[in-house]
């Protein structure tokens, strides 16, 4: 019986060590480059463009929309940005397709900052200065 307990404990320790090495592994971190502001910011994978911009004083809302927006819920469509390459972001959400249906004809890279999650390096061009 003691052998079984010792073997299972060793197995657990080895498994924990493997997971710890995986967590400490040197993985690349996505970078968002805000073109107009000339800022490069490293973000965790899956982070939102909107939150990263607001945390780093990059304006995504212009004029009155700084105060009258939906706070990142995708309901207002006022935080339009141009993102490239689109392959490093999540697919467009239903709300993006709804709000951007006319803008996509002019610029296929347009996205809503609040709905865009980053999974690799991207360049973001905001509408505001």
Among residues 28, 43, 41, the alpha carbon closest in space to that of 118 is found at 43
Q: Could you report the per-residue pLDDT of 33-88, keeping only the tens digit for each?
A: 999 999 999 999 999 999 999 999 999 988 887 788 888 888 888 899 999 999 99
Q: Cβ(76)–Cβ(69) under 8 Å?
A: yes
Contacts of 7 (CB under 8 A, 6+ apart): none
Under the banding of pLDDT at 50, 70 and 90, the label for residue 117 is very high
């Amino acid at each position: 019986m003691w052998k079984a307990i010792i073997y299972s404990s060793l197995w657990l320790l080895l498994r924990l060590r493997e997971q710890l090495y995986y967590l400490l592994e040197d993985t690349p971190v996505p970078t968002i480059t805000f073109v107009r502001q000339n800022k490069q910011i490293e973000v965790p994978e899956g982070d939102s463009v909107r939150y990263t911009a607001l945390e780093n004083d990059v304006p995504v809302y212009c004029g009155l929309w700084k105060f009258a927006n939906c706070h990142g819920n995708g309901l207002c469509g006022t935080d339009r940005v141009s993102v490239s390459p689109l392959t490093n972001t999540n697919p467009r959400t239903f709300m993006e397709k709804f709000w951007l249906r006319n803008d996509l004809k002019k610029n296929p890279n347009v996205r809503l900052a609040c709905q865009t999650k980053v999974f690799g390096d991207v360049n973001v061009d905001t509408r505001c200065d």
